[in-house]
A and B are shown apart, each in its own frame.
Chain A
Amino acid sequence: MALRVREITLADASAERNRTPLQLFMRRFLRNRLAVLGVVLVLFMVAVALFARQLAPMNPHISFPDGTTAQGLPLPPTWNWHHFFLGTDSSGRDEMSQLLYGTQVSMEVGFMATLITLVIGVFIGMISGFLGGFWDNVLMRFTDIVLAFPQLLFIILLRSVIPNPTVATVYIVIGVLGWAGVARIARGQTLAARKMEYVDAARSLGSRNLRIVFMHIFPNIMSPVIVYATLLVANNIIFESALSFLGIGVPDPTVSWGKMINLGLSWYQTDPWLIVWPGVAIAIATLGFNLLGDGLNDAFNPRAGE
């Protein structure tokens, strides 16, 4: 349910000197079939999210009078795209259209929460690594405390006390609580980069501190952060679905995969597809990001796979 901390180190580009790092990276990445599958899945999900409204065969919010049986029970899949392709839920709403709309929320929360996490985490980590000494100590102790907080529990606590939430509430809550891991990585990379010759050179040429940080160190810490961020997106998608599953996710009537599972769960004896479809959707989306992240990690860091 949460991001497992992985060992991420800088790619050791000196091993193969006759190619540019980018070429090496691409070669290694494309050789990894699973990573390529990851890219395909991620692009697919992003495309679905962007065009969900156009793709959806029906309005997912409407309870169709013929969308349930005479006793008001959900319909099984009809396999007719324009008429309840994957069946309906207990309110007579089209499952397929809900799935497509649900992609939007998952992607929005996944990306936005990650962005928030990255901005906070990279900022704190870089400042900490760059300043060193007392401030580094203070910030890292603080980071340790945040890292010790069980993230899902605090997301639940924070989210359950916020009245009148929006989708933004959900990604902000997820985003602001997840930065400690990023901060650790960013600090580590900053410390490593600080010791490198070009930073000393820049300093001796009179660059101001902040400029050094952003112009020189920032690009160097990006590769592990990108890997981490990719995995974080997958993680945040699952967080969002878990919150919506618990009934404290995105506000009604926004469609969300987690909410679909929550609505369908009690029907498992008669209509199991109600939990199968949204679960498969979550699994495909997160699988894409996880495979991509894993592939990036291997490509950035050839020895990480061993």
Chain B
Amino acid sequence: MGSFIVRRLIWTIVTIWAILTVTYFIAFLVPADPARLIAGQHASAATLAAIRHHLGLDKPLWWRYLAYFNQFVHGNLGYDFIMRRTVSGMVLQAAPYTLYLAVVAVFFEILIGIPVGIISAVKRYSFIDNFLRFMTILGISMPTYWVGSLLLVLVAFKLGVLPLGGVSPAGAILPGLAVGITGSAFYARILRSATLDVMRMDYVRTARAKGIPNWGVLMKHTVRNALIPVVTYFGLDFGTLLGGLIVTETIFNWTGLGFLLNTAIGNADGSLIMGITLFSASSIVIMNLLVDIAYAFLDPRVSYS
């Protein structure tokens, strides 16, 4: 077990290093001139040269890469000359908002997924099963940002019951629900199979045969059965979840990582785009590590070799 965790840890570090390297070369091998961006239109060639020197852009690429790497190891993502703040400062300021939204989103995914999955299984092959399956597939077929904008119009604007955007505890409900609607399909699928497995168990069959569908027993066993696949799926899905949030945040004026990324894209702000990508990707990799470890504890059958 210990060696399993150590190996997973090393592998996580290697992956983060790979992500850093790829991100760096994508973001900085482009023919953009940050100096021009910073100095603006009036700048003379001498000013530009001075800024390039100030930024270290006149140094060789490998030197800059190592410098960035060194910064990263020290938890520093560099200084953003467009926003005039440190990248780490901005990312760390925005990240809790996104994390909060992610928790709300997963809550909705599961809240929708569990009843849909269980009802689908109990009423297998019935109209309602087909209908629910159709609805969940329809859910994944809609862009999250579009569902978000519809909710904004219908719920917040027309009905006026929830905030129209902006960061507040209740403000997370609509963007979270948008992600929940578009992401619940697979939780429903997992719950459906888990429930079907439970229903095949002898005592449950007996109970059903006697005409006493014991919902309590069903729920208990189903949830226990579904726990491992749900945790696994959560790990796999975390990156997707974050991707969905990133596009949705802008619509709700939710100033998390996605909002920040959108600003960065508009400004062609390479260092900020890179910082956000690196931070999010690393979080995803670390989340996967945690899920793997949790998985190992939850399921004693997993071999750690």
Contacts and interface: CB of A to CB of B under 8 A. Distances in A.
A181 to B, nearest CB: 10
B143 A279 contact: yes
Interface in B131-145: 133-134, 137-138, 140-145
Interface in B99-138: 130, 133-134, 137-138
A261 B145 contact: yes
A4 B240 contact: yes
B191 interface: no
B18 interface: yes
Given A4-B240, A248-B265, A157 B288 contact: no
A242 interface: yes
B143 A241 contact: yes
Contacts of A163: 30-31
Given A1-B240, A34-B130, A261-B149, A157 B277 contact: yes
Contacts of A269: 153, 157
Interface in B246-260: 246-247, 250-251
Interface stretch (B46-54, B213-221, B266-274): B266-274
Main secondary structure of the interface of B (DSSP, over half): helix
A153 B281 contact: yes
B119 to A, nearest CB: 15
Contacts of B185: 4
Contact of A287 (B130, B138, B250): B138
Contact of A247 (B130, B237, B265): B265
Interface in A255-295: 258, 261, 265, 268-269, 272, 275-276, 279, 282-283, 286-287, 290-291, 294
B251 A265 contact: yes
Interface in B269-293: 270, 273-274, 276-277, 280-281, 284-285, 288
B284 A150 contact: yes
Interface in B183-224: 185-186, 192-193, 196
Interface of A: 1-2, 4-6, 33-34, 144-145, 148-154, 156-158, 160-163, 234, 238, 241-242, 245-248, 258, 261, 265, 268-269, 272, 275-276, 279, 282-283, 286-287, 290-291, 294, 306
